């Protein structure tokens, strides 16, 4: 029933993620960067619970006594995801913004390596080719407008933005692997029910930890988040829907395959820029998009 649906879940996850990012950009005029991150969890948690209640069987998995291994994996995934988000935002604050963004996109390759070493997932040569081709396309998009040559790229590895970007990619990849491992330990439910139950647990951990930190260090941000509830609730709902589809896809397929198919985000981003923002799309952007699409097609051919 679920074998062929993970790719659709990955595409849907990226659609909601791009939509959420657009809403977060608007929210930044009302709250700080930390507040914009907090709303993902604070307003996303109720939506995660609604999704659990809406899917038959998942609530029973959530109410079952979880094992210590499950809780440790879920907590590790939750914290790694939060750390990855923080490092990505940190990379934007340095002069090497473009390099930081580019290196964060190595997440796909890192996810393949982590999932192979931790989960024992193995990919074919065709899938690896798709991942590497897609990665070249991502770099082309990230470096558009810059004349960075090989020597400059190597030197950029030592820059703070590059280190933060690599760290962001590593943490996001680790989060995906740990969340998949936790979901696999959710016994007695189908993959969708297990994924939604894990989403509720992970979001609860993220909400409580981030909220406690904000109440201790920046109470003004918490008040601003509640005052901006209209926009904030939209961000939370979109974030929960996107994360739900990510978790479902992770439960059905190898992490690396899910992440490379998720690079369709680039298509949504370019379409948004062209159709809604009336921004010019360069020929180099289209060439890079072609590489990302080719890589995704190779991965899909491998599983067909």
Tokens of 259: 């992440």
End-to-end CA distance of the chain: 15
- Token pair listed for 128: 């690896």
Token representation of residue 115: 């999932």
Give the mean model confidence (pLDDT) for residues 198-227: 88
Q: Which of 298, 246, 267, 266 is nearest to 7 (CA)?
A: 246
Q: How many alpha carbons fall within 13 Å on the CB side of residue 238?
A: 19
Structure tokens that stand for 89 in this block: 């935002």
Q: Is 276 helix (H, G, I), strand (E, B) or coil?
A: coil
Task: Work out the percent of the chain whose per-residue pLDDT is above 90.
Answer: 17
With respect to residue 299, please indicate whether it lies within any of the assigned structural domains: yes
* Residue at 277 is within a domain: yes
3-state secondary structure of 174: helix
* Cα–Cα distance measured from residue 225 to residue 262, given in angstroms and rounded to the nearest whole number: 29
What sign for the dihedral angle of Cα 233, 74, 132, 145? positive
Tens of pLDDT along 40-86? Answer: 888 999 999 999 888 876 666 666 667 889 999 999 999 998 888 77
Question: Whole-number mean pLDDT of the chain?
Answer: 76
Residue 71 covered by a domain: yes
Q: Which of 90, 86, 84, 89 lies closest to 110, judged by CA?
A: 84
* Side-chain half-sphere exposure of 302, counting CA atoms within 13 A: 24
How far apart CA 226 and CA 259 sit, in angstroms, is: 33
Helices and strands in the chain, H and E counts: 16, 0
pLDDT band at 273 (very low <50, low <70, confident <90, very high): low
Q: How far apart are CA 20 and CA 40, in angstroms?
A: 9
Q: Is residue 106 included in any domain, yes or no? A: yes
pLDDT in the model for residue 76: 95
Tally the domains of the chain: 1
By three-state DSSP, how is residue 159 classified? Answer: coil
Residue 123 has pLDDT above 70, yes or no: no
- Give the best-scoring range by mean pLDDT among 87-101, 151-165, 250-264, 274-288: 250-264
Q: Which residues contact 155 (CB under 8 A, 6 or more apart)?
A: none
Q: Is residue 1 part of a domain?
A: no
pTM flag (> 0.85):
no
Range from 49-58, 148-157, 185-194 that averages highest in pLDDT: 49-58
Cα 193 off chain centre by: 20
- How many CB atoms are closer than 10 A to CB 147? 6
Q: Report the distance separating Cα 58 and Cα 296, nearest Å.
A: 31
- Is 94 a domain residue? yes
Domain range for 120:
6-303
Give domain status of residue 96, yes or no. yes
Query: Are 2 and 191 within 8 A, CB to CB?
Result: yes
Give residue 163's pLDDT band: very low, low, confident or very high (50, 70, 90). Answer: confident
Q: With 80 as the cut, is the pLDDT of residue 210 above it?
A: yes
- Residues 156/117/168/17 CA torsion (nearest 10 deg): 130
Confidence band for 11, pLDDT divided at 50, 70 and 90 = confident
Whether the CA torsion 155, 159, 163, 169 is positive or negative: it is negative
DSSP 8-state class, residue 188? S
pLDDT digits (tens, 9 = 90+) for 92-109: 555 444 455 556 667 777
Q: Give the tokens for residue 258.
A: 């899910």
Q: Is 273 within the bounds of a domain?
A: yes
pLDDT of the residue at 206: 92
Q: How big is the CA angle at 207 (ends 238 and 114), to the nearest 5 degrees?
A: 80
pLDDT bucket at 221, cuts 50 / 70 / 90: confident
């Amino acid at each position: 029933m679920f074998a062929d649906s993970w790719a659709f879940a990955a595409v849907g996850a990226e659609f909601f993620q791009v939509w959420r990012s657009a809403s977060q950009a608007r929210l930044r005029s009302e709250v700080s960067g930390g507040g914009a991150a907090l709303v993902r969890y604070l307003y996303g948690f109720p939506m995660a619970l609604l999704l659990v209640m809406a899917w038959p069987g998942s609530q029973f998995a959530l109410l079952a006594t979880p094992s210590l291994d499950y809780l440790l994996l879920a907590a590790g995934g939750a914290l790694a995801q939060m750390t990855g988000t923080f490092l990505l935002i940190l990379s934007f604050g340095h002069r090497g913004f473009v390099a930081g963004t580019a290196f964060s996109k190595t997440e796909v390759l890192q996810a393949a390596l982590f999932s192979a070493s931790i989960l024992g997932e193995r990919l074919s040569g065709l899938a690896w080719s798709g991942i590497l081709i897609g990665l070249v396309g991502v770099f082309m998009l990230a470096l558009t407008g810059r004349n960075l040559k090989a020597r400059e790229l190597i030197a950029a590895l030592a820059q703070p933005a590059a280190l933060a970007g690599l760290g962001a990619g590593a943490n996001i990849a680790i989060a995906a692997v740990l969340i998949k491992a936790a979901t696999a330990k959710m016994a007695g439910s189908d993959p969708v029910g297990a994924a939604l139950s894990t989403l509720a647990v992970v979001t609860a951990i993220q909400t409580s930890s981030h909220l406690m930190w904000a109440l201790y260090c920046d109470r003004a941000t918490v008040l601003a988040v509640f005052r901006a509830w209209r926009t904030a609730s939209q961000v939370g709902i979109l974030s929960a829907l996107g994360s739900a589809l990510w978790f479902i896809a992770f439960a059905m397929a190898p992490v690396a395959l899910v992440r490379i198919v998720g690079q369709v985000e680039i298509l949504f981003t370019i379409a948004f820029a062209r159709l809604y923002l009336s921004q010019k799309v360069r020929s180099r952007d289209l060439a890079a998009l072609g590489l990302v699409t080719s890589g995704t097609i190779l991965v899909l051919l491998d599983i067909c």
